[in-house]
């Protein structure tokens, strides 16, 4: 029997899709990401949303202030696109420094998306400015139509919105975020230049059975919702195949326990506490561990035209048990794999990376 490696050393990675929220929640979750990633692209779906360059730069400052002492981490920002976003905002964003683009949330598609875009044609003028200035459009790729089957919303989005959009703006750089289907993999593989996708740990490690394993499992509910095993296999093959169009974006999306364990629970899976470790599991499962570094540390930076990070992070194959819950202000947060094991761990986690009280229920 051959055994795989027990340690892997990577260049410090980038999380190209992350929700850190604000205030107490941000202080609770940010250390986990900063202990693993050198940079992350911070999602703008706060309440109210981060729609202007000024707001994004203020939010960026709050994130930097919330970092544990001595921890180096760079927040990369994106603005929330609305029907009313002016083309001049793209120019301001470009000049602002550290703002990589705009996030498109189809109105009503997901958590805090009500201020999103109601019809893509309404933002044509902004998209055109973005295309000219080189800003990137990050796309939540699901139609919001409640009459469309929830498992079909990504595929429908490709056909009715994304594919025509990519053709109408042939030089616009687009990241299809948190792809969840074989249809999305196929689209990205065959798409024109300038189109890439992020893939989350949950979509690589779980299929939709995980939503109902032994009962209804709210902590496995996110959007796009988990899909079939065939979809999961297709995502795994895509990332382990090493194609440069696929890169790491956790979509770690914390919600307090009460908001998840409710009659109408929020969408979002918190994975920042073990993000890189979970990806290592996924890559290892298909014999593709050597592809983890390019996926996590190179493809995203290269797509965005950023220098690759310096410094390293080491993962050891040593199982550990994820706490049942984590402190989050007065509330608690239930992390992915709560009370279960993760096969890999980060060596030498810096002090302050794990907030006190992590083990409690
Ligand atoms: C995200 C959130 O909670 O902000 N939820 C999720 O299920 N992924 C929003 C999003 O990225 O769709
Ligand atoms: Zn997200």
Q: 252 CB under 6 A from ligand 1?
A: no
Q: Do residues 123 and 117 make contact, with C-beta atoms less than 8 angstroms apart?
A: yes
Ligand 1, atom nearest to 266 Cα: 3
Q: 268 CB under 6 A from ligand 1?
A: yes
Q: Do residues 140 and 117 make contact, with C-beta atoms less than 8 angstroms apart?
A: no
Q: Which CATH fold topology does 14-310 show?
A: TIM Barrel (3.20.20)
Half-sphere exposure of 321 (CA within 13 A, CB side): 7
Q: Which ligand is nearest to the CA of 20?
A: 1
Q: Which ligand is nearest to the CA of 251?
A: 2
How far away, in angstroms, is 246 Cα from ligand 2 center? Answer: 16
Q: Is 334 helix (H, G, I), strand (E, B) or coil?
A: coil
Per-residue model confidence (pLDDT) at position 97: 87
Q: How far apart are CA 47 and CA 28, in angstroms?
A: 18
Instruction: Count the Cβ atoms, other than its own, within 10 Å of residue 140.
Output: 26
Q: Do residues 85 and 60 make contact, with C-beta atoms less than 8 angstroms apart?
A: no
Q: 45 CB under 6 A from ligand 1?
A: yes
Per-residue model confidence (pLDDT) at position 102: 98
How far away, in angstroms, is 162 Cα from ligand 2 center? Answer: 17
- Is 251 an active-site residue? yes
Per-residue model confidence (pLDDT) at position 96: 87
Q: 201 CB under 6 A from ligand 1?
A: no
Ligand 1, atom nearest to 267 Cα: 7
Q: 251 CB under 6 A from ligand 1?
A: yes
Per-residue model confidence (pLDDT) at position 4: 75
How far away, in angstroms, is 54 Cα from ligand 1 center? Answer: 23
Q: 271 CB under 6 A from ligand 1?
A: no
Q: 19 CB under 6 A from ligand 1?
A: yes
- The neighbouring-strand residues paired with 40 are 15, 75
Instruction: State the helix-helix crossing angle for 23-34 and 53-66, rounded to 10 degrees.
Output: 70
> Which of 251, 302, 331, 348 is the catalytic position?
251
Q: How far apart are CA 353 and CA 35, in angstroms?
A: 6
How far away, in angstroms, is 21 Cα from ligand 2 center? Answer: 11
Edge-to-edge strands, sheet with 246-248: 14-18, 39-42, 74-80, 99-104, 136-139, 173-176, 195-199, 246-248
Q: Which of 40, 116, 268 to mutate to test the pocket of ligand 1 (most atoms within 8 A of CB)?
A: 268
Per-residue model confidence (pLDDT) at position 111: 82
Q: What is the DSSP string of 57-115?
A: HHHHHHHHHHSPTT---EEEEEEEP-TT--HHHHHHHHHHSSEEEEEE-BTTSSTT-TT
Per-residue model confidence (pLDDT) at position 237: 98
Q: Which ligand is nearest to the CA of 250?
A: 2
Ligand 1, atom nearest to 45 Cα: 4
Q: Which of 113, 211, 219, 223 to mutate to test the pocket of ligand 1 (most atoms within 8 A of CB)?
A: 223
- Domain locations along the chain: 14-310
Per-residue model confidence (pLDDT) at position 350: 52
Q: Is 133 helix (H, G, I), strand (E, B) or coil?
A: helix
pTM of the complete model beyond 0.85: yes
Ligand 1, atom nearest to 109 Cα: 12
pLDDT tens string, the chain, 361 residues long: the values are 456 789 999 999 999 999 999 999 999 999 999 999 999 999 999 999 999 999 999 999 999 999 999 999 999 999 999 999 999 999 999 998 899 999 999 999 888 889 999 999 999 999 999 999 999 999 999 999 999 999 999 999 999 999 999 999 999 999 999 999 999 999 999 999 999 999 999 999 999 999 999 999 999 999 999 999 999 999 999 999 999 999 999 999 999 999 999 999 999 999 999 999 999 999 999 999 999 999 999 999 999 999 999 999 999 999 999 999 999 989 999 999 999 999 999 997 654 445 444 444 3
Q: What is the DSSP string of 264-330?
A: TPPP----GGGHHHHHHHHHHHTT-GGGHHIIIIIHHHHHHTPPPPPSEEEEEEEEEEPPS-EEETT
């Amino acid at each position: 029997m051959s055994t795989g490696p027990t340690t892997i050393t990577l260049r410090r990675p980038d999380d190209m899709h992350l929700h850190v929220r604000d205030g107490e929640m941000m202080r609770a979750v940010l250390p986990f990401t900063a202990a693993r990633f050198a940079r992350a692209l911070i999602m703008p779906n706060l309440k109210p949303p981060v729609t202007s360059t000024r707001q994004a730069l203020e939010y960026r400052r709050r994130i930097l202030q919330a970092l544990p002492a001595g921890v180096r981490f760079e927040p990369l920002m994106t603005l929330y696109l609305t029907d009313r976003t002016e083309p001049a905002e793209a120019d301001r964003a470009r000049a602002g420094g550290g703002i990589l683009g705009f996030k498109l949330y189809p109105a009503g598609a997901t958590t805090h998306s009500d201020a999103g875009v109601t019809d893509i044609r309404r933002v044509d003028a902004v998209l055109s400015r973005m295309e000219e200035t080189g800003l990137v459009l990050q796309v939540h790729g699901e139609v919001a139509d409640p009459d469309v089957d929830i498992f079909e919303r990504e595929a429908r989005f490709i056909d009715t919105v994304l594919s025509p959009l990519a053709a109408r703006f042939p030089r616009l750089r687009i990241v299809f975020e948190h792809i969840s289907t074989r249809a999305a993999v196929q689209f990205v593989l065959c798409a024109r230049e300038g189109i890439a996708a992020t893939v989350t740990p949950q979509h690589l490690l779980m299929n939709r059975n995980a939503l109902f394993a032994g009962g209804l499992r709210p902590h496995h509910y996110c959007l796009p919702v988990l899909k079939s095993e065939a979809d999961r296999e297709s995502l795994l093959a895509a990332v382990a195949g090493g194609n440069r169009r696929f890169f790491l974006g956790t979509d770690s999306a914390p919600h307090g326990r009460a908001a998840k364990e409710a009659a109408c629970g929020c969408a979002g899976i918190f994975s920042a506490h073990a993000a890189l470790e979970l990806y290592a599991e996924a890559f290892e499962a298909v014999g593709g561990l050597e592809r983890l570094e390019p996926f996590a540390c190179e493809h995203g930076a290269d797509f965005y035209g950023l220098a690759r990070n310096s410094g390293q992070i080491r993962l050891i194959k040593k199982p550990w048990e994820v706490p049942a819950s984590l402190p989050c202000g007065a509330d608690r947060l239930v992390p992915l794999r709560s009370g279960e094991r993760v096969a890999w761990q980060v060596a030498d986690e810096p002090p302050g990376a794990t907030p006190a009280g992590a083990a409690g229920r």
